[in-house]
Amino acid sequence: MTMTIYVNQQPLPCPMNTLLADVPALLQLPAQHLAFAVNHTIVHRQQWADFALNHGDQLDAFTLVAGG
C-alpha cells in the first residue's frame, strides 16, 4: 500500500506508515542541515523517528541561514 505526501509542493509516493525520519532517504538528501515542517508546523529532529506521516501531508524541507 502506498500513499502520497507533498514535499515542497511536489508529490512524493511513499509506503503507508512512512515516518518523517524516512523522508531524507526518499528524497535522496542527507538529513544533515535539513528541517521539516509538516502541515506548516516545524517538527523537531528528536521527533522524526516517531512522527508518522499521513496521505496528503504537506511537507516543507528546508535549511536555515544565520548570516547578516
Partner 1 sequence: MSNVPDAPQQWYSRYSRHFLLENFDETHQQRLQQSHLTVIGMGGLGTTAAQHLAASGAGTLSLVDADTVCISNLPRQLLYSEADIGRPKVFAAREHLQANNPGCIIETHVGQASSCELPGLCGPTDAILDCTDNIQTRLALSRYARSAGLPLFSAAAAGYSAQVIAFNPAPGHCCYGCLYGLNAIAPQHCLSHGVLGPVVASAALFQALQVLYFVTRLAPVSWGSLYRFDARTLQWLNHQLPVNLHCEVCQS
Q: Which of residues 7-46 bind partner 1 (CB under 8 A)?
A: 32-35, 37, 40-42, 44-46
3-state secondary structure of 54: coil
- Give whichever of 1 and 66 is closer to partner 1, judged by the CB atom: 66
- Give whichever of 2 and 32 is closer to partner 1, judged by the CB atom: 32
- Which grid coordinates are listed for 15? 509506503
Least separation, in Å, of the C-beta of 59 and partner 1? Answer: 10
**Distance (Å, whole) CA 51 – CA 20:** 6
Closest CA to 62 of 5, 18, 7, 11: 7
Q: Which residues bind partner 1 (CB under 8 A)?
A: 32-35, 37, 40-42, 44-46, 60, 62-68
